[in-house]
């Protein structure tokens, strides 16, 4: 066994420091500066940007943002569970009470009563009655006939449609490219295009009628609070 005195006396033998990779060691030039190979420079985590869309909670009525791909969500204001499904109501359906942030479609030749629907966009071409509220656009097509409490942000009557609303409908904006019978209350304005016709009382802040468009009925003073 060679001790330190023999190692220093023997010019052909030299001790070397023990190097444990990743723990510590000596620089080749000498010295006792610590070298920590396990340390890693801090990395900045880049969070993925999740696309969202703006919706209106059908329980509290407040606006919130949820991921576009979400199948369901929770309202950050009232903590209600929000359904995101799109639905098509068929003859004989049992879905008379519908709450969804998705869209509802009611095809032609469908007759349903006692409906209670709250949805984002609604497209109706059948004969339905009940309470209907669309936070987005309510589109009427074909021979659509709606009876009951009707509320929407925007009403669109498609070209060629002969729709009927009773007793009336309350909206922010109305766009008529087809024929509509019934009372229209628009807090904003109504636009009757060249192919459009409104038969019934109209209560709007601003009424625009293109050449060829028709309004048959009285124009009433709008009630902003309604």
Q: Over the stretch 18-32, which tens digit does the pLDDT of each residue have?
A: 555 554 444 555 444
pLDDT in tens, 180-209: 999 999 999 999 999 999 999 999 989 999
Please indicate, yes or no, whether the overall pTM of this predicted structure exceeds 0.85.
no
Q: Are residues 78 and 166 in the same domain?
A: no
Amino acid 156: pLDDT: 98
Residue 65 belongs to what domain range?
Answer: 50-84
Beta bridge partners of 138: 122, 155
Q: How confident is the model at residue 222, as a pLDDT?
A: 66
* 160 and 212 in a common domain: yes
Cα–Cα distances (Å) from 125 to 50, 71, 77, 118, 165, in that order, read: 36, 27, 34, 17, 12
Whether residues 212 and 124 share a domain: the answer is yes
CA 185, 190, 196, 202 dihedral sign is positive
26, part of any domain? no
DSSP class of residue 58 equals T
Q: Which of 32, 66, 84 is the last residue of a domain?
A: 84
What does the pLDDT read at residue 172? 95
CB 13 within 8 A of CB 7: yes
Burial label for 16, CB within 10 Å (0-12, 13-18, 19+), is: exposed
Confidence check: pLDDT of 46 > 90: no
Domain count, the chain: 2
Residues 125 and 57 in one domain: no
Residues 69 and 176 grouped into a single domain: no
Final residue belonging to a domain, choices 35, 62, 84: 84
């Amino acid at each position: 066994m060679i001790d330190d005195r023999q190692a220093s006396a023997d010019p052909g033998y030299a001790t070397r420091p023990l190097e444990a990779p990743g723990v510590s060691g000596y620089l080749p030039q000498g010295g006792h500066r610590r070298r920590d190979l396990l340390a890693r420079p801090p990395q900045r985590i880049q969070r993925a940007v999740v696309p969202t869309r703006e919706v209106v909670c059908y329980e509290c009525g407040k606006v919130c943002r949820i991921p576009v791909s979400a199948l369901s969500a929770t309202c950050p204001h009232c903590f209600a569970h929000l359904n995101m499904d799109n639905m098509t109501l068929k003859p004989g359906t049992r879905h008379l009470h519908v709450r969804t942030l998705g869209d509802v479609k009611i095809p032609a030749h469908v007759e349903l009563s006692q409906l209670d629907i709250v949805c984002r966009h609604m497209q109706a071409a059948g004969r339905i009655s009940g309470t209907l509220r669309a936070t987005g656009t309510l589109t009427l097509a074909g021979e659509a006939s709606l009876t009951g409490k009707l509320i929407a942000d925007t009403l669109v009557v498609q070209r060629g449609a002969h729709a009927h609303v009773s007793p009336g409908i309350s909206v922010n904006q109305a766009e008529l490219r087809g024929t509509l019978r019934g009372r229209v209350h628009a807090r904003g304005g109504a636009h009757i295009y060249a192919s459009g016709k409104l038969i019934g009382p109209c209560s709007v802040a601003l009424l625009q009628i293109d050449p060829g468009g028709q309004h048959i009925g009285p124009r009433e003073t709008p009630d902003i609070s309604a």
